[in-house]
Amino acid sequence: MPTNADRFLDAFKAIEDHLRRTVGATERVDFVDLVAHAAQENAAVRDVADRLIRYARLRNAIVHNANDRRRRAIAEPRKDVVEDLEGIRLVVTKPPLLVSVVGVEVTVCLPTDPIRRAAQKMADGDFSQLPVYGNGHVINLLTSEAIARWMTQQLTAGSPIDGETPVAEVVGPDPGQGYRVVDRTMTVTEALELFDEARQAGRILNALVVMRSPRSRTVAGIATVADFPKLFASLRPRTARREPVSQTR
């Protein structure tokens, strides 16, 4: 039966090997520098970077020689420390899929639907966005901001607010603006990086629309900025991660 030291060292090595592969670092790169590099690109690593560095010092204290591949343990870490590091290994090497956090039955609308009907769906479900379906796939995203912008334009122009106006006229002619369609294999870490990249580039990214499969072309879930708390919560290390079940709003 493995000791606490064995479990700790196995988890630490799995994390270190994964980070080196991910960032393309050689054995010459110090672990602290490795974590700093990985944290720039990985939200899960960024969240646990300080703990990983502390555990690196503990790793050196546990083994007679940190570079000794025989790993002669001279100390035993506590059980809670081992479980914490094993939890970190789980979220760093196998982050949860985005669909496991935001996956729900998604309401959609058609570009020909009257805006009043789409708005009613949003009000009934307390949604801030609806995928717009056309020709069997997502062609745009109707958001509460788009509706407000359209209404403002109508009022400013002195035009009546016509509830029969097609959704296509409200969302505008630029398909893909403000959202991205992603595969169900996308992880939470990758999703957070997409939002961060858009922010740094000064682009608007309202949502990630998760497809159930390329063939079915049906939506499996939607992730928005409002989902950040539960996305980050899903990356918190735990020994037995529960699958979040919630409705994206």
236 closest CA partner among 172, 200, 188: 188
The alpha carbon of residue 60 and the mean position of all alpha carbons in its chain are separated, in whole angstroms, by 33
| Predicted pLDDT at 85 | 94
What are phi and psi for residue 7, nearest 5 degrees? -65, -45
CATH architecture of 99-233: Roll (3.10)
For 40-94, the pLDDT digits (tens) are: 888 889 989 999 999 999 998 887 554 454 555 667 888 999 999 999 999 999 9
Q: List beta partners, residue 180.
A: 208
For helices 43-62 and 79-93, give the axis angle rounded to 10 degrees: 140
Q: Which residues of the chain register pLDDT less than 50?
A: 66-67, 69, 239-249
Quote the tokens at residue 116: 């009043």
pLDDT at position 211 is 86
Determine the pLDDT at residue 31. 93
- Please state, rounded to an integer, the average pLDDT across all residues of the chain: 85
| Cβ pair 64, 74 in contact under 8 A | yes
Is there a contact between 184 and 209 (Cβ–Cβ < 8 Å)?
A: no
Which string of b and e fits 171-183 if b means at least 16 CB within 10 Å?
beeeeeebbbbbe
pLDDT tens for each residue of 188-197? 999 999 998 8
Instruction: Supply the pLDDT for residue 235.
Output: 87
Q: Which residues pair with 137 in a beta bridge?
A: 134
pLDDT of residue 105: 78
Tell me the pTM.
0.73
> Where along the chain do its domains lie?
4-94, 99-233
